[in-house]
Amino acid sequence: MEFGLIIIVIIVVILALGVKIISQSKAYVVERLGAYHRTVQTGLHYVIPIVERVANVVSLKEIVKDFAPQPVITKDNVTMQIDTVVYFQITDSKLYTYGVENPVSAIENLTATTLRNIIGELELDETLTSRDFINTKMKSILDEATDPWGIKVTRVEVKNILPPRDIQDAMEKQMRAERERREAILKAEGEKKAAVLIAEGEKESTILRADAKREAHIREAEGEALAILKIQEATVQGLKLLKDAKMDDAVLKYKSYEAMVDVAKGNATKIIVPSDLQNLATAGTTINEMLDKKERK
């Protein structure tokens, strides 16, 4: 009775071992009697013990492999170290399991040989400036080569390019010289712009001063013209008043005599005597008579 119970327990345990719960993004490759039978994915599955076995557990996630630097030689015979990063995903679990021995190692070796072939066609300067070209070409070649292995290469990146030390020193000197040249150009352009701005400022300042001076002269001339105009208007107004008052020649001659007396009282050393001085005398007599008549009244 106990022996039978033990056998039952062993059978139950063996049957229980055949129950497989497969998580998300995993795939099991199942063999039956040593031959490929099926591929099972997420969920609850049963693998018949002894008869069937799980040959490989495959991850369906995208895998990233950073391969060690590889020595490569450029077209102009410069040896450098280049390391790459390959992104790939398993699309066919059966081909991945049976297509090639150690697929990751195979991808690494394929990457190294492909990289050597591509870099061998480029010179040093082209290699340093053609990362996108190298990445695209490597992805195309690797994706095509790994297709029979059930692998899809999604991306390839050149991580580091390390030229020899002497080449690096020469490149640093070249870069330093280029930076100094650019600095000198920028400095010269800055000085040129500053000189232009200063000249433009002086030009505008000169123009403004000239405009101000011209405006002052114009205002001064306008003022003088206005003063002359006012004087003329006053003279015209005075003449008009004299005319309206019916001033006769005797009065006018008297006024002229008064003007000459004022001149004589001044500091002038010369006096211009008008030719009609006799007439002025006559005018003076006439004026006296007029004054006497006014007193009698």
pLDDT (tens, 9 = 90+) of the chain, 297 residues, equals 577 777 887 777 777 777 888 888 899 999 998 888 998 988 888 888 888 888 889 998 999 999 888 888 888 888 888 889 999 999 999 999 998 888 889 999 999 999 999 998 888 888 888 889 999 999 999 999 999 999 999 999 998 888 878 777 777 787 888 888 888 898 898 888 888 888 888 888 888 888 888 888 888 888 888 888 888 778 777 667 666 665 555 555 555 555 555 555 555 455 454 555 455 445 445 544 544 554 555
68 - beta bridge partners? none
Q: How far is CA 72 from CA 115, 118, 123, 128, 166, in A?
A: 8, 10, 12, 13, 17
Q: How many CB atoms lie within 10 A of CB 114?
A: 20
d(CA 43, CA 73): 50
End-to-end CA distance of the chain: 184
d(CA 135, CA 156): 5
Nearest to 53 by CA among 97, 92, 6, 7: 97
CB proximity list for 110: less than 8 A, separation 6 or greater: 142, 145, 146
Q: Which residue is associated with the tokens 């049957």?
A: 15
What residue segments make up the domains of the chain, in order of their start? 2-59, 62-163, 165-246, 247-297
- SS3 (DSSP) at 167: helix
Is this model's pTM higher than 0.85 or not? no
- What is the structure's pLDDT at 141? 92
- DSSP codes, 66-129: EPPPEEEE-TTS-EEEEEEEEEEEE--HHHHHHSSSSHHHHHHHHHHHHHHHHHTTS-HHHHHH
Q: Which residue is associated with the tokens 């100094």?
A: 180
Torsion angle defined by CA atoms of residues 264, 270, 275 and 281, in that order, rounded to the nearest 10 degrees: 20
Q: Tokens for 279?
A: 């007439």
User: Is there a contact between 166 and 174 (Cβ–Cβ < 8 Å)?
Assistant: no
Torsion-angle region of residue 147: left (phi > 0), alpha (psi -120 to 50) or beta? alpha
Fold that domain 62-163 belongs to in CATH:
Tetrahydropterin Synthase; Chain A (3.30.479)
